[in-house]
Chains A and B, each alone.
Chain A
Amino acid sequence: MLAALASRLAQALLVMLAVTAIAFVMFRYVGDPVAMMSREDASPAEKAELRKTLGLDRPVLVQYGEFVGRVATGDLGVSFRNQRPVADLLGERLPATLELVIVATILSLSIGVPIGVLCALNPEGKAARLVQTVSLIGISMPTFVTGIALILVFAVILRWLPSFGRGDVVLVGGWTTGFLTKSGWASLVLPSITLALYQLTLIMRLVRAEMIDVLSSDYIRFARARGLPARYINFHLALRNALMPVVTVTGLQIGSLIAFAIVTETVFQWPGMGLLFIQAVSFADVPVMAAYLLFVGFLFVVINMAVDLIYTIIDPRLRTRRA
């Protein structure tokens, strides 16, 4: 187990090195921070001096080496745009993104799994067909359209929910949470639905397909022949086996939700990491972009490891095999 973990960590390191190396090569094409940081009528000498103080006049390889060296000592650098430590900026934004993603994931699992099971148990029923059709819309609708439509209906016309922001947040041990205030919860509704919609339909369709598959397998037929209660067969025997790919997909989806909540965060002005990244891109804020990509790479590696661990909990066979 420990050896597996160590090799995973080594892989993680390689992935992150590769991600940042590619990122550094690409930074040269996303824009010039000096142009963004200079005065409108700055003289060429002023710009050259700024380029030098930022160390942007050196070869990319040297800049990259320095970046890796700094990161190894735990220093993510200072943002060009805000002149604040990148670690602080990411730390400020992490709670907003994580809370949004957690709620969206819970939402999509708690709705997606039961509906998927129901559709699988009665695949020819009217309800199942309706759900299938509606889910196609959910899976193909762009996030910003969903977001704007929800804002229009629930914020502008009905005025039930706020159209943007996080509401009032409370600081709990260095973590800003919106879970403790009424306006915090109200603000979560629209963005989390927007973010969850795609994942929800994905999970639902996956559960349905897997369940139909499992329900037609031999051991379910034998279980039925033994006269076991339908409830036990459907939820204990069948669902448990159908959930394996769902765990994988959910895990990877959490990763991409965090990494790509950018659109939802922009539409709802959700002060999370996606919004930070978008601003960094438009300002060519290299330290923030690099740190963010590093973080996302790290995140995917961690999630993959967590998924592997969860497998062993759901599937007892894996435990014995590994041990």
Chain B
Amino acid sequence: MTDSIKSGSTRRTILKTGVASAAMLASPAILRVATAATLIKIGIPTVITGGYAVLGSQVMRTCKLVQKMTGSKGVLGQPIEFLYKDTQGNPADCVRKTQELVERDNCHLITGVVVSSEARAIMPKLAEWKAFFISHGCGDGALTTKEFFVPNFFRANTSAPMGARALALYLKDSPEKNFIALGSDYAWGRSSVAAFEDQIKAIGKNLTDKIYTPVGNKDFSTYITKIMQSGVKDCYIALQGDEARGFFSQAVQYELPKRVQLLTEIVAQDNIRSLGKDAIGLAGSARYVFTYDIPQNKVFTEAFLAEYKEIPDWTDGEMYQALMILFAAMEKAGSPETDKVVKAMEDLEVTSVKGPVLMRKCDHQGENQGFVVKVAASSKYPEPVAEIVKIYSREQITPDCLSTGYKGR
């Protein structure tokens, strides 16, 4: 150092160089902070790998589309940034990944959680994390009941009891008296079957048997045999993701759709694809119907078809709706801060791709219309599509507040 000072590099020069170097090194961090301040981060802890990855991939593609659609204007004049994490459909991993989003990435707006049991796992932590979570697809009816209610959680989507209710109302006039149900053995599957049982009994019909399959089950042959041996002509299915694909593929091999009318809480385009022409006649309730002819849905479906050259599935529609509701709440609040968004979300009314939705204050459940659909061949599309046969008003299908029942309806 002494030598350098002697050779002309004064202490001041060294200090200047040091300050300049420090500024150079620090500038990315400063820029990062500045950029972070102008971005609205939305955390997507979703299923990227595992049995429900097909649903996670739909979540991500819709988020990417929304990011493109909102562009640099974003919301509140701030661009949107989605941060994706793989939960593998595992509640413990979902807790860890969401914690990572909140604590490390400073992301306090959460959506895109696929599995209801994952939602159940993170909901009690929301207050501690000061995070807001809006469900796009978690169907377990219990999430908005007194037992699990948390202020920072909202559900924009149709729940399992709501889907079952719409289907039961439709089946009221059916001549068939006896039904059998098959569901995945976790929160949503059980909730869906239980809601269907309640609803079907309420209209004077019987559920002769309930079959629960282990989560991640791949071989449904024994269950299909059991359904065929039961002699019942109508079977209610509550399966999603790879489980649904596996079941429907095997059902076709066993010619189950020819012997039994398959009914499902969620008619998914992905399942229709698995069944092929055998899907024609499949009936059920639908959380989102891409053929629903309203301007809001037209904007979405056109953008989606242009981007992906594929029919949007129910998860795409529900994800889009959840994001539109979230954006509307942020606009109303004038801020993306958790407390303000929660307050703005209560009793917020939005007309989305599924029609009018009310995010009711009492239990944070979104009141959605109920769609009953039947799969039919289409001249417009290369695969069969779900066509609406009946729409029930949101008052008819949304359960009583903080409940999964319909005593007050």
A-B complex is real: no
